[in-house]
Amino acid sequence: MSKLFWIIFLLLMLYTILPTILIRLFGLWMYKKKKSGSGIALTFDDGPDPEFTPILLDLLQKYQIKATFFVLGSKAEKYPQLIKRIHQEGHLIGIHNYVHWANAFMTPNKVRRQLDSSVNVIENIIGIKPIYYRPPWGIINLFDLLLLKQFRLVLWSIMVGDWRSKGGKERIETQLLAKLKNNDVIVLHDSGQTFGADKNAPKYMLAALDDFLEICQHRGYHFLRIDTYMQLNNLAKQGPAPLLKRLIIYLWLKWEHLFHRLFNIHPIDVNNQIFYSRVRKYHGKTIHLANGEVISPGDKVVELHFNNEKLSQLIAESNTMVQLAVNMIRDVQRFLPKMTQYLHRHTEVKGIYGITMIHRGSKQLGFTVEELPKGLFNYFTLIYLRILLFVLHPNGRQRIDLKKGLLSPRIVAISVLELKRRYSAEPELLTISEPVSHYQRQ
């Protein structure tokens, strides 16, 4: 194939294919389904339509359901009375571009003009500026990520091909019921005038929807507007930064999985994977341990690595830094007896060794903590660990800025003899008041 083909393919990958894959597979930057709670978001695209939208509104009124309409600006401009009715009956209005064109085939400026025109049309009709946006076919381009400052981008978790007439209402109803779960976002279409749609398809969608909503009513399902739906899961307050950070964390953890494979690093305790490890020769400076032993260059050691996926999970589950510290210390305490069992199979190992910035409370657990010697290794380790803190910690940037003098890597080590003396029989959990006070001061 020619170089021109590969250049075009690469540009398409960067411009639209890769961003779309990321949002569709991993839910990055877009809202597609709640993780918890209850409630279903019923959403409709491609309208308003003078034939089908009034019937749909009557149906929603029959079941006392509030829905979300992602409308085309050109149709809203043509049928302002329908937009008024949608709004007056308590439904939410979002944007689905001015005309039904995929963002992949438009320049960033063209997408922006489409959205600005649609926003102006809706705002002039109902007096409210819409902030929810669903790109046609769920396809975005790279520059659409800049829209996150202005819009909440919304996808779906259930689509049943209701833009086709084939199979009638039975096919649509069957697929809706088969796929339905609490927390879903359903997308249906109240117009058959877009490219690839059958003009009479909404007739079958409405017939299926009537039966579907009656069944859902008997089953006790609740339907919510997309704004209420997102607020119940604290999603509406998430701007671009949290979503972008999710992508960074995802890519970082994938890199770490690859790193572990390349260097044969494995968890010791499969039930408490707070640490990964490998046995290797120690190559650093001599470490003088608190119990009088030393770890010298050439000694066999177990090199510990924090499981940053587990750390990220602990951060997400902890409401405060104090709670995070308590949870981490308890996990480490549960891990150490397993480490002693592991060392019975590795009699050649003299000590356990790691480098970390998370070392508060280590001395109370029996570890020796020393500064990392100055030099290139110290410099690059510091950069790596600060990037890691920025990625995983919810206030990583602020902590780095405020605590630069304190956030420096330390060697943390303990001898096998000391570890076995302390943890051969699983002890009661140690007091955590002292380590926690360190975290409170950070």
Picking from 125, 58, 50, the residue whose alpha carbon sits closest to that of residue 93 is 125
Query: What is the Cα–Cα distance from 240 to 229, expressed in whole angstroms?
Result: 19
For residue 187, what pLDDT is reported?
A: 96
| Structure tokens belonging to residue 237 | 């307050």
Sorted by sequence, the CB contacts under 8 Å of residue 338 that are 6+ apart come out as 268, 269, 272
Domains of the chain and CATH, by start: 12-238 (3.20.20.370), 242-441 (no CATH)
C-beta of residue 308 within 8 angstroms of C-beta of residue 392:
yes
Backbone angles phi, psi at 42, to 5 degrees: -100, 120
Based on the residue annotation, tell me whether 45 is a catalytic residue of this protein: yes
For residue 401, what pLDDT is reported?
A: 43
For residue 429, what pLDDT is reported?
A: 40
Q: Can you say whether residue 292 is alpha, beta or left, with left for phi > 0 and alpha for psi between -120 and 50 degrees?
A: left
The 10s digit of each residue's pLDDT in 216-273 is 988 888 898 998 877 765 544 444 445 566 667 777 777 778 888 888 888 887 667 7
From first CA to last CA, the distance across the chain in angstroms is 58
The 10s digit of each residue's pLDDT in 361-388 is 788 888 999 888 877 766 776 676 667 6
**Per-block average pLDDT, block size 10, for the chain (442 residues)?**
66 72 63 65 95 97 95 97 96 95 88 94 95 90 80 90 94 92 90 92 96 91 86 52 62 79 83 83 90 93 84 63 70 85 88 80 86 76 67 50 55 92 61 33 33
**Amino acid type, 398:** Q
DSSP string, 275-311: EEEEEEE--SS-EE-TTS-EE-TT-EEEEEEE-HHHH
Query: What is the Cα–Cα distance from 440 to 206, expressed in whole angstroms?
Result: 58
Element (H, E) at 412: strand 410-415
Dihedral over Cα of 247, 249, 253, 256: its sign: positive
Query: What is the Cα–Cα distance from 408 to 382, expressed in whole angstroms?
Result: 6
Q: Helix H segments across 73-200?
A: 73-78, 80-88, 108-126, 168-179
For residue 16, what pLDDT is reported?
A: 75
Q: Can you say whether residue 405 is alpha, beta or left, with left for phi > 0 and alpha for psi between -120 and 50 degrees?
A: alpha
Q: 332-338: long-range contacts at Cβ-Cβ below 8 A with a sequence spacing of 24 or more?
A: 332/274, 332/365, 333/365, 333/427, 333/429, 333/430, 334/272, 335/268, 335/269, 335/272, 335/274, 335/275, 336/365, 336/419, 336/422, 336/423, 337/423, 337/424, 337/425, 337/426, 337/427, 338/268, 338/269, 338/272
C-beta of residue 287 within 8 angstroms of C-beta of residue 354:
no
The catalytic position among 91, 96, 189, 359 is 189
According to the 3-state scheme, what is the secondary structure of 12-40?
Answer: HHHHHHHHHHHHHHHCCCCECCCCCCCCE
Element (H, E) at 255: helix 240-262
- The pTM score is 0.55
Based on the residue annotation, tell me whether 189 is a catalytic residue of this protein: yes
Q: Can you say whether residue 296 is alpha, beta or left, with left for phi > 0 and alpha for psi between -120 and 50 degrees?
A: beta
For residue 183, what pLDDT is reported?
A: 81
